[in-house]
Amino acid sequence: MFSKRSGKTAFCFFLLALLPNVSLAAADESPCPSRRTCALDSPEKDFLTLLGLREDANDTEVIQLLDIPEKQIFAMAVVMYRKTSSATPKLLQIVNDSNTLFPAKICAADTLCYLGNREWMPTIKTLSLDPNGPICGTHVAIKIAGMLARAGDYSQFKTVAAWIADGKRYGRLSAICELANFRHKTDPVTDAAMNILVSVADTDPEPFFRQVAIYSLEKIAKEKPQIIPKLIYALEANKHSPDKYLGISSRVNLKIYGLKRDEQESKQP
């Protein structure tokens, strides 16, 4: 029989697995002339429903639910979508509270990271580096490494890279996704991440993994356009893929990035 605390821990793990999709969708949200209208067509509406709130619930109502463990992570998702900076003090309290279950700590830190806050970093990094802690050696360490990278700390690159060669599917997929966060205009870690992603896009037997690697390369290229030739190489390797979606998207993107490459080369002296 699970204890009440064990049940909450399992529930938090389930929600933690969903959070990368939340942050990804929030980070890639396209600008909208009427954000509130578009937002309610997104998962934000679903999270508000799960929280028992109206569609027009204000930020204060959402922040109040951060005090309820069973609703914390859904409330964090709404905060992330809305970019509610006024939730920062409460989120920091969750991160630093020794009684908070660590999945909730990580979700709160991820939300703070998205809001541009870095005060969560010491607590979460210490937690992830504890060799006897609950994170060491798990796929959660990959997510934390990616979060730290998004905040400018690339020290956990080897943690992510090591999972690329791992046989566990979810761990490899998470690592391919998080490598996109190791992007910097001058830091050598960017080229290291790029080389791994190009290899995955060129040789991985799973079309979906190749597609995700290409997506991560695209995110790196936005920060460092100099890698566009490598991205084009990855697209060339997949333009005739038997996987219909991968083949079509590769051919379309080849046209787009070919033009960008030509434009970049024309600017060089």
Give residue limits of the domains in the chain.
1-136
In 3D, which of 83, 81, 84 has the Cα closest to residue 64?
84
pLDDT value for 96: 96
Tokens of 88: 């920062």
Taking only the tens of pLDDT, the chain with its 269 residues reads: 334 443 443 344 444 444 544 444 444 443 333 334 334 457 888 999 999 999 899 999 999 999 999 999 999 999 999 999 999 999 999 999 999 988 899 999 999 999 999 999 999 999 999 999 888 888 899 999 999 999 999 999 999 999 998 768 889 999 999 999 999 999 999 999 999 999 999 999 999 999 999 999 999 999 999 999 999 999 999 999 999 999 999 999 999 998 777 666 666 66
Q: What is the pLDDT of residue 259?
A: 78
Per-residue three-class SS string for the chain = CCCHHHHHHHHHHHHHHHHHHHHHHHHCCCCCCCHHHHHCCCHHHHHHHHCCCCCCCCHHHHHHHHHCCCCHHHHHHHHHHHCCHHHHHHHHHHHHCCCCCHHHHHHHHHHHHHCCCCCCHHHHHHHHHCCCCCCCCCCHHHHHHHHHHHCCCCCCHHHHHHHHCCCCHHHHHHHHHHHHHCCCCCCCHHHHHHHHHHHHHHHCCCHHHHHHHHHHHHHHHHHCHHHHHHHHHHHHCCCCCCCHHHHHHHHHHHHHHHHHHHHHHHHCC
**pLDDT at residue 263, as a whole number:** 64
CB 26, CB 44: distance < 8 Å: no
